[in-house]
Structure 1
């Protein structure tokens, strides 16, 4: 089996990818800012990154932050991967990064370009948003007495474990370029998802759809972040909520 390094290997997605790869018999190294012995801040780079990549065959790049720095981090990772002779770089991106002019999406799209132009063998998988991200959003919105939602926007949440399974499968195979997107099983209005959340958590809130402005909102409203033709995920939002409650 191969030696695989997972960046962001302690995060929501990365830790599941690590588990899947180890279950498949691969030697896996976990890279994050705090995970010993490969504690590296990718935004800073440095010799620790070369140490982490020595002898690595494949990298699964899950580390990402909406607070910025993704392009810089990817640049450091790619440079070090070239020096180490890494054969395959797998990157997880988001459906719609090329259609929605939202800052974080633009950064993810830019990283896709860096990966494709790296000179390494590469694979890029785009997925829709994870169930837990919606819950985090609704947790924040539910602090108010009225749940305010962007009018006319839908979502297609996917089970993070299914994305981890697919990434592990891709990491165990040859470079495949841009592969087919992985979308959740249902395109749902934000209001229906919010009501499912309120029912599951026992919170009583009015739901109000509020029209917004701007190019990013229009793109979300047009469904630029959705992949209805790739609704291949199995786990529903209600099933995720039931597991959390249990």
Structure 2
């Protein structure tokens, strides 16, 4: 019987698709979740919380690999990753596969800096590790537009473009990495198209049948300047196939 693979954040946008891919590949899967569930499931669920450190030892015990998808969307990612790494060291040194973001070393966004710090933590952890950086997911671009649904104007980041990638394609890649040998930092993964934020927002509005003025805003500061320079893009790694239009068509 093969050891299971643990997925942190296994009920989130990316994690749940990773779980499905691993199950489809015939692997036993364990999910660390803050909430217990009495329902029957195809995977094992361990109740715990990376922020509090509860249940983490039980979650990592006996696993072959850990796909770390859980995120706090902020600086707390560093502390939760340290909790996970420390537990992994106590329980057999499993292979950790970490999902990161293209540009964490070029865009001075606090969340990106936290992701970069986690990357560095893994490289010196003594654990076997693999890191995959991807560009933004399609649903993030859609969410930015949808959050302005009640406004007569949709604001976009002036002078900036994005290269959104499909979460399903990223999940397939993470599942492949989890069942393989530790590979260090693997090639980045970007979406198939680089398009201006304004253009992507207009695409979203057309697909959802909304009429809005789309107004690019040139925001001052180092973070916006890094986005305008394309620090978050991977034009040489446009390996995704699902376009933003494909995503919207499937969604709507």
Cα separation, partners in 2 of 1:194 and 1:171, compared to 1, 3 Å: same
Q: Aligned residue for 2:192? A: 185
Q: Aligned residue for 1:42? A: 50
Q: Aligned residue for 1:206? A: 213
Deviations 1:77-128 (Å, cap 9, x if unpaired)? 0000010113310000000000000011111111111111111000000000
What is the distance in 2 between the residues matched to 1:34 and 1:215?
39
In the alignment, is residue 17 of structure 1 matched against residue 24 of structure 2? no
In the alignment, is residue 231 of structure 1 matched against residue 232 of structure 2? no
SS in 1 for 2:47: coil
Structure 1 runs of 4+ aligned residues shifted over 4 Å read none
Q: Aligned residue for 1:136? A: 143
Q: Aligned residue for 2:86? A: 79
In the alignment, is residue 108 of structure 1 matched against residue 98 of structure 2? no
Q: Aligned residue for 1:66? A: 73
Counterparts in 2 of 1:105-184, with a 5 A limit? 105-184=112-191
1:129·1:156 contact (CA, 8 Å) conserved in 2? Answer: yes
What is the distance in 2 between the residues matched to 1:61 and 1:241?
27
Superposition deviation, residue 25 in structure 1: 1.2
What is the distance in 1 between the residues matched to 2:94 and 2:251?
38
Gaps of 5+ in 1: none
What is the distance in 2 between the residues matched to 1:243 and 1:66?
27
Deviations 1:136-161 (Å, cap 9, x if unpaired)? 11001232111111110000000000
1:6·1:59 contact (CA, 8 Å) conserved in 2? Answer: yes
Q: Aligned residue for 2:103? A: 96
Q: Aligned residue for 1:242? A: 249
What is the distance in 2 between the residues matched to 1:117 and 1:65?
22
Q: Aligned residue for 1:30? A: 31
1:158·1:236 contact (CA, 8 Å) conserved in 2? Answer: yes
Higher deviation after alignment, 112-121 or 222-231: 112-121
Cα separation, partners in 2 of 1:91 and 1:35, compared to 1, 3 Å: farther
What is the distance in 1 between the residues matched to 2:84 and 2:57?
9
What is the distance in 1 between the residues matched to 2:21 and 2:71?
20
Superposition deviation, residue 211 in structure 1: 1.1
What is the distance in 2 between the residues matched to 1:160 and 1:203?
25
Q: Structure 2 length as normaliser, TM-score?
A: 0.94
1:56·1:86 contact (CA, 8 Å) conserved in 2? Answer: no
SS in 2 for 1:141: coil
